[in-house]
Amino acid sequence: MAHGWQFYMNPGPTNIPDRILRAMDHATIDFTGAQFRAISEECFAGLKRVFKTEHTILAYAATGHGAWEAALVNLFSPGDKVLLVESGFFSLNWGMRGQSFGLEVETLPNDWRRAADPAKLEARLRADTQHQIKAVLVVHNETSTGVAHPVPALRRAIDAAKHPALFLVDTISSLGSFDFRMDEWGVDVVVAGSQKGLMLPTGMAFTGISAKALAATATAKLPRVYWDWRRLLGENTQGYWNGTVPVHFFFGLQESLRMLEEEGLDNVFARHHRLAEATRRAVRVWRSNNGPETFGLDPAAQSDSITAVLVPEGYDADKVRQAALDKFNISLGGGLDRLRGRVFRIGHMGDLNEPMVLGAIAAVEMALDLTGVPHGKGAVQAAMEYLTETA
Ligand code: PLP
């Protein structure tokens, strides 16, 4: 019998604050009425401030996979070529979906432990003299590796190559956790989800769409109905929605956006950075004694929303994750795809404070002990010292 509450330190979904749960605890209202229209307008206006865009944002009842798919089917025709910047499991998964729709998906290979190299992207686009590549797809924060990729520098690479490709960015685990700027960074399509930085339940997904991307929908030939941006924007819909509107999500989203803006986005980002840095300092302590290390190798590309921890060769990261769950009721993320059993992932995004991070570090250190993984001791102390210094 578990006591207390489950420490939720998975890199998504994340903890749902009481304020959001209370806001969703509401009688159903008519989604065609003025009350709902005001809520919806407040939500879309607030989302624009979080995406940092003046462009269109559309929402779906879906997980992030839906927004991935919406981006593909609205922009492309069978046989179109897109260039996927490899970053890890989620990037490859997005590309695999493109292949299923008959796109020619070329992967720009990249070491999963390192940030994508803008020079490599520029060189590849320069070589595409016929401009056959219709779009560049990038995952801003690769949730499977804990590496954050340099979206502004990748944009500059596209511009330096004078290439007209659309720029599609998955912000599912960065939006609302660390800096992202759709318009300033020249992003054409932003893919986002509800269950990470926005602190909502899983099940609402978003796309930010530039004017250039909207224009591309007119010639795209892939079949689409539910995801069709033209239908969602058309006059015959009930305002940006297909089907019954999940009003409770909007109650939650309204509260989430209010919370983010009350704290101030810059303060939200600073909080995530500090909690992430405390986590990284803890991992550095474990690293001594040939223990686990941070999977990401570039100091400047460490994600502020998730840390992937690589266990030493010969040890099983899943056992650590399982021991943490079974013995201490803390949920960590497991390794995905080729990282299965090699890493466990500590999520530090969303509604989180210092004691939660310290509790997680303590539980992980106990799980390392229980599973016999060699490691240095005293990670909580190191994290406490950093958090006190920066308080
Ligand atoms: N992209 C990234 C970067 C993710 O982290 C995830 C999920 O964790 C997805 C896409 C897929 O989103 P969902 O699980 O909401 O379908």
139 lines ligand 1 (CB under 6 A): yes
- pLDDT, residue 29, reads 97
65 lines ligand 1 (CB under 6 A): yes
Average pLDDT estimate for 20-28:
98
Q: How many CB atoms lie within 10 A of CB 288?
A: 12
Average pLDDT estimate for 12-33:
96
| Residue 1 belongs to some domain of the structure | no
CA-wise closest residue to 284 among 169, 376, 149, 373: 376
Q: Give per-residue pLDDT as tens, 42-53.
A: 999 999 999 999
236 pLDDT higher than 90: no
Q: What is the CATH number of the domain that holds 273?
A: 3.90.1150.10
Same-domain pairing of 275 and 321? yes
- pLDDT, residue 239, reads 61
What is the atom index within ligand 1 of the atom nearest the CA of 11?
Answer: 8
Six-digit token string for 23: 């806001």
| Residue 38 belongs to some domain of the structure | yes
- pLDDT, residue 223, reads 97
| Residue 216 belongs to some domain of the structure | yes
Q: Are 371 and 319 in contact (CB under 8 A)?
A: yes
State the pLDDT confidence band at 240, using cuts at 50, 70 and 90.
Answer: confident
Distance 355 CA to ligand 1 centre (A): 27
State the pLDDT confidence band at 235, using cuts at 50, 70 and 90.
Answer: low
Of the chain, the percentage scoring pLDDT greater than 70 comes to: 98
Number of compact structural domains in the chain: 2
CA-wise closest residue to 27 among 253, 258, 256, 247: 247
Instruction: Tell the residue number behind the tokens 């839906």, with chain if given.
Output: 66
Distance 11 CA to ligand 1 centre (A): 10
* 174-175-178 Cα angle (round to 5): 60
DSSP 333: B
Residue nearest to atom 11 of ligand 1 (CA): 64
12 lines ligand 1 (CB under 6 A): yes
- pLDDT, residue 391, reads 95
Of 217, 237, 261, which closes a domain? 261
Q: Are 205 and 192 in contact (CB under 8 A)?
A: yes
Same-domain pairing of 207 and 282? no
Q: What is the CATH number of the domain that holds 191?
A: 3.40.640.10
Distance 66 CA to ligand 1 centre (A): 10
Q: Largest alpha-carbon pair distance within the chain? A: 65
133 pLDDT higher than 90: yes
Distance 90 CA to ligand 1 centre (A): 7
Mean pLDDT in the chain?
Answer: 96
Same-domain pairing of 142 and 288? no
Alpha carbon distance 191, 163 (integer Å)? 22
Q: Are 198 and 268 in contact (CB under 8 A)?
A: no
19 lines ligand 1 (CB under 6 A): no
Q: Are 281 and 273 in contact (CB under 8 A)?
A: no
Q: Is the dihedral of CA 353, 356, 359, 363 positive or negative?
A: negative
- pLDDT, residue 134, reads 98
- pLDDT, residue 147, reads 98
- pLDDT, residue 389, reads 98
Average pLDDT estimate for 220-249:
87
63 lines ligand 1 (CB under 6 A): yes
What is the atom index within ligand 1 of the atom nearest the CA of 141?
Answer: 3
Separation of CA 214 from chain center: 23
Same-domain pairing of 256 and 277? no
- pLDDT, residue 388, reads 98
Q: Give per-residue pLDDT as tens, 315-337.
A: 999 999 999 999 999 999 999 99
Distant-in-sequence, close-in-space partners of 132: CB < 8 Å, separation ≥ 6: 81
1 pLDDT higher than 70: no
Distance 196 CA to ligand 1 centre (A): 9
Same-domain pairing of 257 and 142? yes
Distance 336 CA to ligand 1 centre (A): 12
Q: Write phi, then psi, for 136 (nearest 5 degrees).
A: -110, 130
Average pLDDT estimate for 24-39:
95
Q: Are 257 and 50 in contact (CB under 8 A)?
A: yes
What is the atom index within ligand 1 of the atom nearest the CA of 140?
Answer: 3
What is the atom index within ligand 1 of the atom nearest the CA of 171?
Answer: 3
Q: Report the SS3 class of residue 117.
A: coil
Same-domain pairing of 253 and 332? no
Alpha carbon distance 369, 391 (integer Å)? 30
Distance 64 CA to ligand 1 centre (A): 5
Alpha carbon distance 78, 260 (integer Å)? 40
Q: How many CB atoms lie within 10 A of CB 232?
A: 21
- pLDDT, residue 241, reads 84
Q: Give per-residue pLDDT as tens, 90-124.
A: 999 999 999 999 999 999 999 999 999 999 999 99
Of 261, 279, 300, which closes a domain? 261
Average pLDDT estimate for 62-87:
98
| Residue 171 belongs to some domain of the structure | yes
Mutate to test the pocket of ligand 1, among 60, 68, 85, 90 (most ligand atoms within 8 A of CB): 90
What is the atom index within ligand 1 of the atom nearest the CA of 193?
Answer: 15
Q: Give per-residue pLDDT as tens, 358-385.
A: 999 999 999 999 999 999 999 999 999 9
| Residue 2 belongs to some domain of the structure | no
Same-domain pairing of 334 and 221? no
| Residue 109 belongs to some domain of the structure | yes
Domain carrying residue 35:
18-261
Of 226, 261, 296, which closes a domain? 261
162 pLDDT higher than 70: yes
Distance 308 CA to ligand 1 centre (A): 16
| Residue 343 belongs to some domain of the structure | yes
3 pLDDT higher than 90: no
Q: Which amino acid is at 333?
A: G
291 pLDDT higher than 90: yes
